Amino acid sequence: MKYFIVTYGCQMNVHESEKIAGILENLGYTACDKREDADIIVFNTCAIREGAEDRVFGNVGNLKRLKKKNKNLIIAVLGCMTQKEQTAQKLMNTFPFVDIVLGTFNLSRLGFFIEAVKKGRQLEILEEGDIDEMLPYKRTSGENAWVNIMQGCNNFCTYCIVPYVKGREKSRQESNILQEIKELIAEGKYKKITLLGQNVNSYGKDLNPQVSFATLLHDICKLDGDFTLSFMTSHPKDLTDDVIDAIASEDKIEKFIHLPAQSGNNRILKLMNRKYTREKYLEIIDKIREKIPNCRITSDFIVGFPTETEEEFEDTYELVKRVRYDSIFAFMYSPREGTIASKMEGQIPEEIKHKRVNKLLALEKKLQKEDNKR
């Protein structure tokens, strides 16, 4: 029996797909390179941007031909997109040949549903639950090992669907994280360990007793072994001095911070519910530059947020020019149903969003060219 997994979205989804692969291999499946050879095809979906959702619908639709040829083919759709019950129902109604649709918190039940699918189609959307420490992994990222330290998000940025599909922040016990990393070190295959969370700087606030993210970083670095440590993603409002100090002082920690700014304008930041100002963000950047002079800094930006004026976009443009990031990811604002921003007045026309994102990316290219030359 063979499986084929299609992964959309962030590094956390890449790691989730490693869990899916582990579940399938425990059931006796082996990976294959082509969906045509598979006995089960799993889509691990993303709900962050509308384009990702559209691609899922398009690619699932393309499997109708395969299902006609192979009646025993199992098609499963999992992940963030399917945690939204309305979307999951639409998927089942649009594609009657899809066998299994599971939400974000149902991953551990995939094996059960594969066995049950012969009795009929399966759809289940669970409310959020605890992190399942018992799921197997089939690691697929070479010398890098992903380690999930928490799930969910409490920030409720007005453009973002994540808190609705991933639930509230839940941290793993530090002892479980350290044990997983010790086992990775003992395997001897992994040169890099990357900690994952929607907002790693919030790690441990929900634990009793609390454990700070800086403490976790220091404790991991105390472990014997030849590895580098990195993490993503940081929220500027929670990036504390002790975390910056940990990165500066620990040789094992990669001198790299991904620090999404999203906008350089205070009014837009407030509308986004980001809970920091342009000035506070630049203060953090200056601290990083002072304490870790060789630190690579990258960022995310959303252009064309509802009501954003040309002058407010220029504030973002000037922020990028001032910080001179090593790289940026710039996105046109995409309304996500169920978020506050999707209902805001003053949605920006697509052609203006295109113009602004292209201008920002052109600036990044220019700055990188200058830095490379220097």
What are the average pLDDT values for consecutive 10-residue runs of the chain, which has 374 residues? 92 89 94 94 87 85 91 91 85 90 85 82 65 73 90 94 90 95 93 94 94 97 95 94 97 97 98 98 98 96 98 98 96 92 96 97 94 86
The strand pair at 170-171 and 144-148 is best described as: unpaired
Provide the residue type at 275 as one letter. K
Q: Are 169 and 131 in contact (CB under 8 A)?
A: no
Alpha carbon distance 165, 16 (integer Å): 14
Alpha carbon distance 339, 194 (integer Å): 30
Provide the phi-psi class of 204: left if phi over 0, else alpha when psi is between -120 and 50, else beta. left
The strand pair at 74-79 and 40-45 is best described as: parallel
Which ranges of 33-109 does DSSP label H, i.e. alpha helix? Answer: 50-61, 64-69, 80-83, 85-94
Instruction: Tell me the residue ranges of DSSP E strands in the chain.
Output: 2-7, 30-31, 40-45, 74-79, 100-102, 122-124, 144-148, 150-151, 170-171, 192-196, 228-232, 256-258, 296-303, 327-332
Instruction: Report the pLDDT value the prediction gives residue 112, as an integer from 0 to 100.
Output: 87
Instruction: Report the pLDDT value the prediction gives residue 197, as an integer from 0 to 100.
Output: 93
- In the chain, the domains with their CATH numbers are 2-124 (3.40.50.2300), 141-254 (3.30.750.210), 259-374 (3.30.750.200)
What SS3 class is residue 17?
Answer: helix
CA angle 37, 40, 42 (to 5 degrees): 115
Instruction: Report the pLDDT value the prediction gives residue 128, as an integer from 0 to 100.
Output: 64
Scan for tokens 């940026």, then name that residue: 328
Length of the chain equals: 374
DSSP 8-state symbol, 84: S
Q: How confident is the prediction for the chain on average, in pLDDT?
A: 92
What are the tokens at 176?
A: 């479980």
Q: What are phi and psi of 92, to 5 degrees?
A: -65, -40
State how far the alpha carbon of 326 is from the alpha carbons of 294, 366, 368, in Å.
11, 12, 7
The strand pair at 40-45 and 2-7 is best described as: parallel
Instruction: Report the pLDDT value the prediction gives residue 27, as an integer from 0 to 100.
Output: 93
Alpha carbon distance 332, 52 (integer Å): 13
Alpha carbon distance 301, 299 (integer Å): 7
Within 8 A by CB and 6+ apart from 62, the residues are: none
What is the C-alpha R_g of the chain? 22
CA angle 326, 329, 333 (to 5 degrees): 150
The model's pTM is 0.85
Alpha carbon distance 209, 218 (integer Å): 17
Q: Are 260 and 159 in contact (CB under 8 A)?
A: no
Q: Are 320 and 364 in contact (CB under 8 A)?
A: yes
What are the tokens at 137?
A: 């992994």
Within 8 A by CB and 6+ apart from 49, the residues are: 331, 334, 336
Scan for tokens 């010790």, then name that residue: 182
Question: Smallest Cα–Cα separation from 81: which of 374, 338, 305, 361?
Answer: 338
